[in-house]
Structure 1
Amino acid sequence: MKYTFYLKKTLSFFLFIPFLFFSCKKECKLSPAECHVYENSGSDCTKTKEKNAPVVASLKEIIHPISGSDPTLNMEELSAIGDYIGSAYFVGLGEATHGTREFFQMKDRLFRYLVQNHGFKVMGFEATWGGALYVNQYVLQGIGTAKKTVRKMKFWTWETEEVIALVEWMRAYNLAHPDEEPLQFYGFDMQSVDEEYFWIKDYLSDLDLDLFNSIDTLLKPYVSVADYQTYPSLSETRKNKFKADLVKAKKLFENKESNLVALSSQQEYDLIHQAFVIFIQNEDILDPKFGKGRDFYMARNSEWIRNYVQPRTKVALWAHNGHVTKGDFWAEGAELYEAHAGNYKVIGFSFSKGSFQAYQPKGVGLTTNNVVEEMDCQTVNALMADVGEDNYYIIFDELESTSAAYKYFHKKNPFFMLGSVFYPDSQNTFISLVNLPEHYDILIYFKESHFAKPY
């Protein structure tokens, strides 16, 4: 059984598209929207720069320059981050796009630093819980390949060379440190139940086929409708029936706990029990009138990961800025901050120009042909470019309360970031007013973004 191999070691410890850069000013003769260039808002940028000059000057005194995002670079550059994180056991690692090479590489670099210097053992991903278990099999036991298992997570955002490099490093680390508690990889999302169904099936088919057959009649019909298009359109009667069936299936499983543990182990049982929990969470987020919300459950699943691996395990959480933030009450990060306070630290990301992978509407689809050439001069992103360093990070608690930078950041300012969809002709859509220190403890800045490389 595949879960047996997956748990064996744990139990002993507990579409590449070449990118064409268009510049409307120098090369591209099309409209700004067709060139995928960010259009300046028309603000008086000279006055803006003059106004922000004291902010830039005070920022220069406290920034921490870094030489780049390559995970193999000198770790000493990150020591101030390590000092700030201290003994925190959750660290949120954000990203200002879902497709930037520098963000992905830097999160890999941060995780390696946290593993080697602060005892972190788990990487949690904004990815399907069941799909990520295959990645963990590879990290722990070398089952499959990094590329094949990452595809099981079903998010195009992670099917990149940068994520593969992280996964392969985790596997290599475990091989090189056989006497340590191994590194592990988990997903905390619940937007799909396909793989969860197969984990349940594999476990029960070998241990209690009659129980599986009873549970299968309750789970399998739901799997066929469990998506954002189909499920919300169902009648309330059908949805209520599915809700009841999922709860009943979980209860049937729980009633056989002692027998199943005797035939396998408590840890194997607990793993599969979480698959039933994911089913119930999935139904809840697909029925938004009554559901608690995806981020609420991502926070709960992150806590489950920590408790499942080992109660004192330290976990890094890889997700978008908008999920790891502690400043939006609905976000995963806010949930974790409320529950764990100083034991949750969050690192956000920013950039000023460059390319990234994202979906475009109007039939374009997924493409690396997305460019922000110049940020609106009113944005934080533009101000950070004026500091004069290509790459650096800010620890907001290091800002002097009397400094211009402190006064600037501790109010809402225009900040550019996007998720998986990009509208080249409506780029102001991705600017929002944000009090950054309320959202992030640390902000990592790269002057130029390059698209993450699909494999």
Structure 2
Amino acid sequence: MTDPHTLDLLRRERRPLTGRDEDDALLDAIGDARFVLIGEASHGTEEFYRERARITRLLIEHRGFTAVAAEADWPDAARVHRFVRGEGEDQTAEDALGDFVRFPRWMWRNRAVADFVTWLRAHNAGEVARPVGFYGLDLYSMHRSMNAVVAYLQEVDPEAARRAKERYGCFEMFGQNPQAYGYATEHGAWEPCEQAATQQLVELQRREAELSRGTSDDEHFFAEQNARLARNAEQYYRAMFRGREDSWNVRDTHMVETLAALIERAEAQGQEAKVVVWAHNSHLGDARASAMGRQRGEVNLGQLTRERWPGSTLIIGQSTYSGTVRAADDWDEPAQVMTVRPGMPGSLEALLHEVGDRYWLDLRTGAAAQALAAEQLQRFIGVIYRPATERWSHYVETEPAGQYDLLLHLDQTQALEALEDQQDEATADDLTAEGLPDTFPTGE
């Protein structure tokens, strides 16, 4: 039974999520943060995607935010970036999302993202001081990124393209199976390709001024980011066989490196970057305030962003109590609409359910911060949902007020609307399997 005093405090602190006055209050709470990280408690909940997009639009229109950086692979997001900037050949947002083909395709190929991308293209086409970009932070696209580096160099310096092919040829015997590469190198059956991948990144960085002459503003930068991704993905796939903590840390460190590269590029052009980050709560809720950091020695994007840009970072988490979710039973299995069990007794979700329906809380000071400072169970659903083992598969001990600055609670939520029938979900046999994901929580 929840302490009635705690419930009374939280009910007084909650702010509704509807109405212009409440939008103004939310923007006031965000203040002058340059990095607003907006999480989600699952990768398959419609309301999380819609609310995140709504807040992002507010930040772009009223706070001058210049970029959206998502938990997505760089080359896939690059196609969306070109579309929202009025470039490329895609005519619709659905077309622009067409490179999101590997599992879990619904995570980005969904109606909520398509609607936001359509809005962002229209926004950029208007009278804006600076068009907003869309970028990917993740590193599962090792082979596609290597191919993109070679393709870029083939256009600007065929001899440099030849060198890149030779360096990346170190990976060839493993085909499109980076797990096999990681296993072979970690067990001494193959010499790691780290040096070759690093050399390619260094060459692109060293020759930036020379190679970028005659190209668009983005082309060299995108090639360099693909080379960075290939170097870090090589480390990631080897780390997978050393332990879950190592691979998780490589992945989230890559995300913050990519974020830093976006900031450095803007500053080099004399501009101030203000970035909205879209990712799962497990990546954005500060790892130091959960079992991730305290017990497993893991870091995450939220923690690293706070450490790198103290005073400029604001983290928003999202939560739900029950409803439905789009998820799979296992990796590469078809997506389903699954029933989300009500939050466990004693969990953060159960507490927030008693407080109310749709609202947000400021966890930095005051009664809400005190009420949510204690350790409690919090649910995380990735792209896989296993309700039969929910306690062990999806709940983690956290201190919510340490993880997030603001927390949105949407009590009853619905499954994300995919752009196509997920029975057609691409699998490793159909495409290139760019790697099994980390599993904090299951499938995330």
TM-score by length of 2: 0.82
- Measure, in 2, the Cα distance between the counterparts of 1:443 and 1:432: 17
Where in structure 2 are the equivalents of 1:2-401 lying within 5 Å? 48-49=1-2, 52-67=3-18, 74-143=19-88, 144=90, 145-153=92-100, 154=102, 155-156=104-105, 157-177=107-127, 179-222=128-171, 224-225=174-175, 227=177, 229-236=179-186, 240-254=191-205, 256-264=207-215, 268-288=219-239, 289=242, 293-310=250-267, 311-328=271-288, 329=293, 330-361=299-330, 365-387=333-355, 389-400=356-367
User: Structure 1 residue 326: deviation in Å?
Assistant: 1.9
SS in 2 for 1:186: strand
> Gapped runs of 5+ residues in structure 1?
1-47, 68-73
- Measure, in 2, the Cα distance between the counterparts of 1:98 and 1:417: 9
Letter paired with 1:326: D
Letter paired with 2:142: V
Letter paired with 1:162: A
Q: 1:393-441 deviations in whole A, cap 9, x for unaligned?
A: 00012423xxxx5543111012222111111211112222211010000
User: Structure 1 residue 165: deviation in Å?
Assistant: 0.9
- Measure, in 2, the Cα distance between the counterparts of 1:194 and 1:235: 17
Q: 1:337-359 deviations in whole A, cap 9, x for unaligned?
A: 11111111100011111001111
Counterparts in 2 of 1:182 and 1:408: CA distance versus 1, 3 Å:
same
Q: 1:34-73 deviations in whole A, cap 9, x for unaligned?
A: xxxxxxxxxxxxxx14xx2211111111100123xxxxxx
Counterparts in 2 of 1:228 and 1:57: CA distance versus 1, 3 Å:
farther
Asked whether the 8 Å contact 1:93–1:348 carries over to 2, the reply is yes
- Measure, in 2, the Cα distance between the counterparts of 1:95 and 1:135: 21
Counterpart position of 2:413:
449
Q: 1:107-155 deviations in whole A, cap 9, x for unaligned?
A: 0001001011111111000000121111101000153132233232444
The yes-or-no answer on 1:412 pairing with 2:369 is: no
> Gapped runs of 5+ residues in structure 2?
294-298, 420-444
The yes-or-no answer on 1:427 pairing with 2:374 is: no
Asked whether the 8 Å contact 2:185–2:192 carries over to 1, the reply is no
- Measure, in 1, the Cα distance between the counterparts of 2:57 and 2:253: 28
Asked whether the 8 Å contact 1:192–1:227 carries over to 2, the reply is no
- Measure, in 2, the Cα distance between the counterparts of 1:386 and 1:217: 61
Q: Cα RMSD between the aligned structures?
A: 2.3
User: Structure 1 residue 76: deviation in Å?
Assistant: 3.5
- Measure, in 2, the Cα distance between the counterparts of 1:140 and 1:239: 43
SS in 2 for 1:341: coil
User: Structure 1 residue 265: deviation in Å?
Assistant: 6.2
SS in 1 for 2:321: strand
Asked whether the 8 Å contact 1:161–1:453 carries over to 2, the reply is yes
Asked whether the 8 Å contact 1:358–1:421 carries over to 2, the reply is yes
How many equivalent residue pairs?
393
Asked whether the 8 Å contact 1:125–1:187 carries over to 2, the reply is yes
Larger Rg: 1
- Measure, in 1, the Cα distance between the counterparts of 2:75 and 2:12: 46
SS in 2 for 1:120: coil
- Measure, in 1, the Cα distance between the counterparts of 2:122 and 2:109: 19
Letter paired with 1:136: H
Letter paired with 2:154: S
Asked whether the 8 Å contact 2:37–2:284 carries over to 1, the reply is yes
Counterpart position of 2:404:
440
Asked whether the 8 Å contact 1:96–1:349 carries over to 2, the reply is yes
| Deviating more after overlay: 322-331 vs 164-173 | 322-331
Counterparts in 2 of 1:142 and 1:57: CA distance versus 1, 3 Å:
same
SS in 2 for 1:410: coil
Letter paired with 1:54: H
Q: 1:64-109 deviations in whole A, cap 9, x for unaligned?
A: 0123xxxxxx443222221122111111110000100000000000
User: Structure 1 residue 235: deviation in Å?
Assistant: 3.5
Asked whether the 8 Å contact 1:62–1:398 carries over to 2, the reply is no
- Measure, in 2, the Cα distance between the counterparts of 1:101 and 1:133: 24
TM-score by length of 1: 0.81
- Poorly superposed stretches of 4+, deviation over 4 Å: 223-228, 236-239
Letter paired with 1:191: Y
Calculate percent identity across the aligned residue pairs.
22
- Measure, in 2, the Cα distance between the counterparts of 1:274 and 1:370: 37
Asked whether the 8 Å contact 1:215–1:252 carries over to 2, the reply is no
User: Structure 1 residue 364: deviation in Å?
Assistant: 9.4
User: Structure 1 residue 229: deviation in Å?
Assistant: 2.5
